[in-house]
Amino acid sequence: MRDPATTSRTAQKARTREALKEAARACFGRRGYQETQIGDIARAAGVAQGTMYVHFASKEAILDELLDELDAELVARLEAAWAALSPRARDEDVPDLAARVRILAGECLSVWHDHRELLRAFAERASLGLDVRRLHDGVSPGAARWVRQLLERAASELGVTIPYPALVGHALLGLWMRVGLFSLFDDTVPRGELAELLTRLSLGAIGGVAVPGGPSESSAEPVPARRAGRPTTRSHS
């Protein structure tokens, strides 16, 4: 049986950690990432600055944990939206696929809008210099993996091959993120129109790289440009 005093201390530490994260979120939203100092976060959370360092080594560490939680929430929202679609809708052709992508795009935009202070902090930190691994993973590595798995399932259902699905997944999510960031700084375009734009861009991108036939029938290389009447080009990435 656990010592009640130990249990109480553990619960208090958890509450303090959550208070620090909420304080950081508020400070990032109010002051901006660059202008927020460790002392600002500690004062907003009502703790001593030394207590702050017990939980987090820096404001970068707090933002990383907040972004990880945002990533988990985004994946959960996307999974719930996908599961809400009927099996029949998931097996239909392009119009249903477009409607499905539009729903997913709307969920992404909604989550990012709900956590806009974190996206702004991420963008501000990136402009100041960002760890290469974090830049490679992006703001939502879990969501990128989910998109890759979705692309693989969709390709299997449609009988096509999507080359380099992990890279395509990152590219699509990066595209969505760029539009999402635009909407945070400029609200002149209605969110519904942004979701429609993302739908068309995504379907065009997927259609541009998809190769007819499954993996056993075709190579994983992209469709050569000459099939679309253009000179053949090869990527060196």
Q: Kindly state whether residue 227 falls inside one of the protein's structural domains.
A: no
> Whole-prediction pTM value?
0.77
Q: Kindly state whether residue 234 falls inside one of the protein's structural domains.
A: no
Residues 198 and 88 placed together within one structural domain of the fold: yes
For residue 230, the model assigns a pLDDT of 37
Q: What is the number of domains present in the chain?
A: 2
* Chain length of the chain: 237
- Alpha carbons 73 and 145: distance in angstroms, whole number: 14
CATH of residue 205's domain is 1.10.357.10
For residue 30, the model assigns a pLDDT of 94
For residue 93, the model assigns a pLDDT of 46
- Alpha carbons 47 and 49: distance in angstroms, whole number: 6
Query: Six-digit token pair at 146?
Result: 């989910």
Residues 79 and 112 placed together within one structural domain of the fold: yes
Residues 66 and 53 placed together within one structural domain of the fold: no
- Alpha carbons 202 and 224: distance in angstroms, whole number: 19
Any idea what the Cα angle at residue 237 is, between residues 125 and 171, rounded to 5°?
Answer: 50
Helix, strand, or coil here: 225? helix
Helix, strand, or coil here: 211? strand
Residues 38 and 132 placed together within one structural domain of the fold: no
The conformation of residue 142, written as its DSSP 8-state character, comes to H
- Cα end-to-end distance, the chain, whole Å: 57
Query: Six-digit token pair at 65?
Result: 């944990």
CATH of residue 52's domain is 1.10.10.60
For residue 85, the model assigns a pLDDT of 74
* Domain boundaries, position 83: 60-218
For residue 162, the model assigns a pLDDT of 92
For residue 132, the model assigns a pLDDT of 59
Helix, strand, or coil here: 219? coil
User: For the chain, which ranges sit under pLDDT 50?
Assistant: 89-90, 92-95, 216-237
Query: Six-digit token pair at 215?
Result: 């993996």
**Would you state the torsion angle of the CA atoms of residues 166, 170, 172, 177, taken in this order, to the nearest 10 degrees?**
160
DSSP character string of 34-101? TT--HHHHHHHHTS-HHHHHHH-SSHHHHHHHHHHHHHHHHHHHHHHHHHHS-HHHHTS-HHHHHHHH
